[in-house]
A and B are shown apart, each in its own frame.
Chain A
Amino acid sequence: MNERINESLSALVDGETDELEVRRLLNQLESDDGMRQTWHRYQMIGALMRDEPAVNVDLSRGIAQAIAGEPMDEVSRPAEQASSADEPQVVEKHSRFRWLASGAVAATVTLAVLVGVRMTGNAPGEMQMAEQSQTVNVPAAVVAQADKTEQPVILADASELSPEELEAAQRKLQEYVMQHTEQAAMSNAGGVMPYARVVNFESEEESR
């Protein structure tokens, strides 16, 4: 395992990584046992250093579950307890995504990832994707823009939401996005060839 990955892992535990990095790491965590152990170790160390009870929950799994659209189980519980802790309401614009290292933030990560993913997912392809693989299914568009250091997902009080509420919220936003694109296309007097931004609502993904 290279040093960069270790650094990234450490950053993730310390809440200093961005969303893109989270996704990358998740991908690797899934396939790399050694790395998973390092991840747990770092989590423990982090917890000890902050004088918190060591969290014995694999946060990565929850995040991956969230991404795959599966119900979140063990992760959501410690997260809810911790969500009463003071947390910044909105992550500062333009800054790199800063996760705080705590159970509460784990939830935020989970939900942030959920928001980002579901919002762009939910098209007909998604269900099949969710069934068909355990791999983390990251919408390319999100990755692409994160690559370019545009800010990814910012969210405020998502940690107070249940997965169902979050899903409803995402559906709603997706509906608005669709209406925007449709109406924008139509008010071009139907003249401009309607092209394919719909790609953004597909979770079809080349395996990476």
Chain B
Amino acid sequence: MKRWLLLPLLASVVTLANAEGSARGWLDQMQRAFKTENYQGVLIYGNQQHWETISVKHGTVDGKEYEMLRHLTGVPREIIRSGDETICIHPGDHSVRLASSLPSPLQGIDSNADISESYNFRFADSQRIAGRYAKQLFISPKDENRYGYRLWLDQESGLLLRSDMLGQAGQVLERFQFATVEIGIPLSAADFVPDGDGHPLDEHPAFKISDHSLDTPAWLPQWVPAGFVLMKAGELIPPVPEGADETLRQPPMRLMYTDGLAAFTLFVDLAGAEKMPEMVSQWGATSAAVRYRKQGEERYRITAVGELPSATISRIAASVQPAVTSGEQSDSGH
């Protein structure tokens, strides 16, 4: 609201506000394009040290959304999503799974959030990516608690053609980029059939993680960076596949926060006698922190995970406290 008062005074703020509005429009368009466009291409994903090449196919057939990701480097593996169903295909029979639903570079993107509170926006000249003209959008954080982005959005469809996630020194933490892409092509359900390609591939059903929402979370962080709001609070229903990790027995409480672009998740669960080091770790854009807290007789583990600087993730995790003073934690899992 305050911005409105200042608007007439500062011409630069006017342009900034326009950029914000327009950026919002482009980001919304980007999301729509991801969901509704038919496209097919090859993208590279990684950082300066390591790249993966992935072929991607996405389309809507008879109102159902299909998506297929196939890793072209490393161990052959595919992820196929049709509607709500996800199938992961990879060799071997490890109980370890692949992430069934792969994240966007913009983890917490949320159309309703006021992202201008936390980020500045600036458009730059169009560039060519994957043979198409792409609008460049710089998104820079207003504080040190989040990362910046540089996005290249297809001029015609708004599809994200390239994304750089930028650390505080401007270094690229993660990049993905289409090498080649076709947009608006016809696709049928037959285009999303697993391709064994002569390799022995086993199908691994993806974990289904559902949660019932909690109105009053038993634990809450006392500090989150400005602009982050609680998006979802729930208890995970533990997956029970064969060979499931026994540490998954207790459903952890989960809180998900977003500032409109970035997201982090807090997990709180009973630690029991389990030993796990308190730690802060970061790889690529993802940071994680593990802390312990005693509540009554029980020892709880607090885990924060998100695409935020590790110092921020660590501070969030350290701030988590029981939301109620009583020792009864009816919804912290049994």
Contact = CB atoms under 8 A, between A and B. Distances in A.
Contacts of B278: 90, 155-157
Output the residue of A93, A124, A144, A182 with the most chain B CB within 10 A: A124
B217 interface: no
Interface of B: 30-32, 34-35, 43, 45-50, 52, 54, 56, 58, 65, 67, 69, 73-75, 77, 81, 90-92, 94, 96-110, 160, 167, 169, 171, 173-174, 176, 207, 209, 231-232, 236, 245, 247-248, 252, 254, 256, 258, 263-265, 267, 274-286, 288, 290, 303, 305-306, 309-311, 314
Given A148-B171, A184-B256, A193-B67, A161 B31 contact: no
Contacts of B67: 193-194
Q: What are the 7 tightest A-B residue pairs by CB atom distance, in nearest-first order?
A: A140-B50, A204-B74, A140-B49, A169-B276, A192-B104, A141-B284, A194-B102
Nearest to A173: B288
B99 A193 contact: no
Contact of B283 (A139, A156, A189): A139
A207 to B, nearest CB: 12
Given A94-B311, A145-B173, A185-B101, 9 more contacts: A111-B277, A124-B96, A145-B283, A150-B282, A151-B280, A169-B276, A180-B263, A192-B106, A204-B73
Output the residue of A94, A158, A184 with the most chain B CB within 10 A: A184
Nearest to A168: B247
Nearest to B305: A180
Nearest to A117: B283
Interface of A: 90, 93-94, 111, 115-116, 119-120, 122-125, 127-128, 139-145, 147-158, 160-161, 165-166, 168-169, 171-173, 175-202, 204-206
B281 A199 contact: no
A105 to B, nearest CB: 15
Nearest to A172: B247
B245 A128 contact: no
B77 A124 contact: yes
A185 B52 contact: no
A119 B281 contact: yes
Output the residue of A192, A196, A200 with the most chain B CB within 10 A: A196
Contacts of B288: 119, 173, 176-177
Contact of A144 (B48, B90, B91, B306): B48
Given A122-B96, A141-B47, A172 B176 contact: no
Given A90-B278, A155-B279, A185-B103, A177 B47 contact: no
Q: Is the interface of B mostly helix, strand, loop or mixed?
A: mixed
11 contacts: A120-B283, A141-B49, A150-B282, A151-B311, A161-B276, A165-B276, A176-B267, A177-B286, A190-B65, A191-B31, A202-B52
B281 A180 contact: no
A190 B35 contact: yes
Contacts of B279: 115, 153-156, 158
Contacts of A204: 50, 52, 73-75
Nearest to A170: B276
A192 B110 CA distance: 10
A196 B94 contact: no
A181 B232 contact: no
B50 A193 contact: no
Given A187-B256, A197-B103, A192 B75 contact: no
Contacts of A125: 74-75
B100 A182 contact: yes
A89 B270 CA distance: 22
Given A119-B283, A150-B282, A199 B32 contact: no
Nearest to A191: B35
